[in-house]
Amino acid sequence: MTIQFLDGRLSVNRNDSSGTDGITDTPLLIGDIGLQTGAAALLGNEGDVRVALTGTVGIVVDGVVAELTFTIERNGTSAPGSGVLILTEAFNTGGVNTIGPVSISAGDFPPAADVLAGEIRYTLFVSATITEGNIALSGPVVFNGTAFAGTTTS
């Protein structure tokens, strides 16, 4: 089937680096997009949909040692753990004073039933396990998604 562009969306939580929202062990929703996928059925491509997800998240650590965890879910609500887990990315800050914006990339091959529902929701969360001190979501915080369907063979 022909390659078919379905949709592209972005979620901008913060477009500068002046934020001070604290990050704790309770996951914080920082990105939320809904990709329109119903058009895939028009060409019989509902079984060949793929989604590319990317994000940038600015964090201030100020020398704190913590384990940061980013998760992306499919078709959940604003509550963490309510959707299908697509990505978990965790890393230790190692006590550094600054972290450049963190880049997140994920891919998804949603099931045909989700594609035929017409829209697939993706949510991005961040949490931190901190032994001492505070970590802040400074920004920028952007979450993007693009959906395509079809294959390269006829």
**Predicted confidence (pLDDT) per residue in 122-143, tens digit:** 999 999 999 888 899 999 999 9
Strand partners, 67: 92, 129
- The residue type at 126: V
Q: How far apart are CA 21 and CA 139, in angstroms?
A: 10
Question: Residue ranges per domain, the chain?
Answer: 16-140
Q: What is the pLDDT of residues 21-33, one digit of tens each?
A: 999 999 999 999 9
Class at the top of the CATH hierarchy for domain 16-140: mainly beta
Determine the length of the chain: 154
Tokens of 12: 């901008």
Q: How far apart are CA 109 and CA 66, in angstroms?
A: 32
Residue-averaged pLDDT of the chain = 92
- The whole-model pTM stands at 0.94
Task: Measure Cα distances from 11 to 30, 54, 82 in Å.
Answer: 9, 11, 19
Give the distance from CA 130 to its chain's centroid: 22
Q: How far apart are CA 104 and CA 137, in angstroms?
A: 15
What is the 3-state secondary structure of the chain? Answer: CCCEEEEEEEEEEECCCCCCEEECCCCEEEEEEEEECHHHHHHCCCCCCEEEEEEEEEEECCCCCEEEEEEEEECCCCCCCCCEEEEEEEEECCCCCECCCEEEEEEECCCHHHHHCCEEEEEEEEEEEECCCCEEEEEEEEEEEEEEECCCCC
Confidence of residue 98 (pLDDT cuts 50, 70, 90): confident
pLDDT at 112: 96
